[in-house]
Structure 1
Amino acid sequence: MLQKINLEHILFLDIETVPEKRSFDELDDEKKALWEQKSKYQRKDEYTPEEFYERAGIWAEFGKIICISVGYFNIKGDVRTFRTTTFHGEEIKLLKEFKNLLIGHFSSTKHLLCGHNAKEFDFPYIARRMIVHGIELPYKLNLFGKKPWEIPHLDTMELWKFGDYKHFTSLKLLTNILGIPSPKQDIDGSMVCQVYYEENDLDRIITYCELDVVATAQVFLRLRNDDLLEDTEVQRV
């Protein structure tokens, strides 16, 4: 049961990704051909490979991570805080820093990683990009040979499914129906590429990413029927 999980043993996270290059034209000829083949099913005849390239960030083979935001509970008696921080910069640097966090503070068997739709996106994306950069996978992301019950991952969307494999619910919708105050965001996921490449405003993206981490933690609290976080309990470190 969720109530039996120690909140301090969970690392909540969210990532933001963009296409590996600013535009399709910056790809070499081989990568252009591979992108055209990879994206053919999704874009069908509605878009050219060039037009569809702005969505390349959703594939780890054609995108890159620009930030990983994390959050964790700290509970001392009756005082509860939720602390957030973000790894950003060059992808190989932020991946190594995130790995060091996992090894240094969230490496035991009792620790869990949690995100929204993270089993389908965030966790495998991080693992794939680590492999691309030649970074040895930390235990929490190395799933080879593990049985399903040995995988240290929680997913708030999966928890909300209650076994319904066809159901998709966005984090924004879930916070709305569960009565969770909507995080004050001035962008959404579809705008991240533009804000990163055209506006060069990574800080704006980091704020958006951290707010999603807080929202994910709030959803998890509601699923446990716990009190939601107050604004004063959220600390950026």
Structure 2
Amino acid sequence: MISKLNLENILFLDIETVPETEYFSELDHTKQELWEHKSKYQRREDFTAEAFYDRAGIWAEFGKIICISVGYVKMEADVRTFRVSSFSGNEIKILKDFKNLIITHFSQTKHLLCAHNGKEFDFPYIARRMIIHNIELPHKLNLFGKKPWEVPHLDTLELWKFGDYKTYTSLKLLTNVLGIPSPKDDIDGSEVYRVYYKEKELDRIIAYCEKDTIAVAQIFLRLRGDTLLHDNEIMSV
């Protein structure tokens, strides 16, 4: 029962990703061929691999992480705060800093990671990018040999499914139906490529990522039947 979990033991998170290079032409010939093959079944016939390249950030083999935002609940004398911060910029530094956070503060058995669609996207994406960069996986992301009930991950999408595997519910839709303020008040995921490469406004992406992290925590609180976070409880650190 999620109502029995200690909120202070949960690290909520969200990631933002983009294609590894701005232009398809910047990939070497082999990588271009691999992308053409990988994307063949996702794009319409009238889309070339190059025209579809702005979607490449979805796949860890062709993308990179530009921001990881994290948030956690802190209780002090019955005063609740939600502290949110971000790692951004160089991907290797992002991954190492995130790993250090987990090892330093969220490495015990009782600690859990939580994201929306995290089991299908955020957690494996982070793990794959760490391996690509020869960064040893922290225990919380190393799932080799673990049984399903030993995996230290929570997924608000999975919790919302209640065993139904036929549907996908976006973060924006779920916040809407649960009466939670929408985090999508500036950009959405489809615009991250443009904002990062064309407009070079990383700060907007960080703000967007942090709002999504807060939304994940709000959904989790709502599913538990807890009071939602108020603006004065949210701190940027």
* TM-score normalised by the chain length of structure 1: 0.99
Equivalent residue for 1:114?
A: 114
- Once the two structures are TM-superposed, the CA of residue 98 in structure 1 deviates from its matched residue by 0.2
Equivalent residue for 2:211?
A: 211
- Once the two structures are TM-superposed, the CA of residue 89 in structure 1 deviates from its matched residue by 1.5
Q: How does 1:186-225 map to 2 (within 5 A)?
A: 186-225=186-225
Distance in 2 of aligned mates of 1:185 and 1:125: 25
Q: Deviations over 1:113-162 (max 9, x none)?
A: 00000100000000000000000000000000000000000000000000
* Percentage identity across paired residues of the two chains: 73
Question: After TM superposition, which residue ranges in structure 1, 4 or more long, deviate above 6 angstroms?
Answer: none
Q: How does 1:76-225 map to 2 (within 5 A)?
A: 76-183=76-183, 185-225=185-225
Which segment drifts farther, 39-48 or 23-32? 39-48
> Does the residue aligned with 1:193 lie in a helix, a strand or coil?
helix
RMSD over aligned Cα atoms: 0.7
The letter for the 2-side match of 1:20 is E
Distance in 2 of aligned mates of 1:235 and 1:126: 25
Equivalent residue for 1:73?
A: 73
> Contact 2:7–2:73 (CA<8 Å) still a contact in 1?
yes
**Gapped runs of 5+ residues in structure 1?**
none
1:51 aligns to 2:51 (yes or no): yes
> How many residues of Structure 1 are paired with residues of Structure 2 in the alignment?
237
- Once the two structures are TM-superposed, the CA of residue 166 in structure 1 deviates from its matched residue by 1.2
Distance in 2 of aligned mates of 1:126 and 1:199: 25
- Once the two structures are TM-superposed, the CA of residue 199 in structure 1 deviates from its matched residue by 0.5
* TM-score normalised by the chain length of structure 2: 0.99
1:5 aligns to 2:5 (yes or no): yes
Distance in 1 of aligned mates of 2:112 and 2:186: 30
Distance in 2 of aligned mates of 1:145 and 1:4: 27
- Once the two structures are TM-superposed, the CA of residue 46 in structure 1 deviates from its matched residue by 3.0
Q: Deviations over 1:167-206 (max 9, x none)?
A: 1000000010001122362100000000000000000000
Q: Deviations over 1:8-36 (max 9, x none)?
A: 00000000000000010111100000000
The letter for the 2-side match of 1:149 is W
- Once the two structures are TM-superposed, the CA of residue 61 in structure 1 deviates from its matched residue by 0.2
**Gapped runs of 5+ residues in structure 2?**
none
Distance in 2 of aligned mates of 1:60 and 1:183: 24
Distance in 1 of aligned mates of 2:49 and 2:231: 44
The letter for the 2-side match of 1:203 is D
> Contact 2:172–2:184 (CA<8 Å) still a contact in 1?
no
Which segment drifts farther, 116-125 or 176-185? 176-185
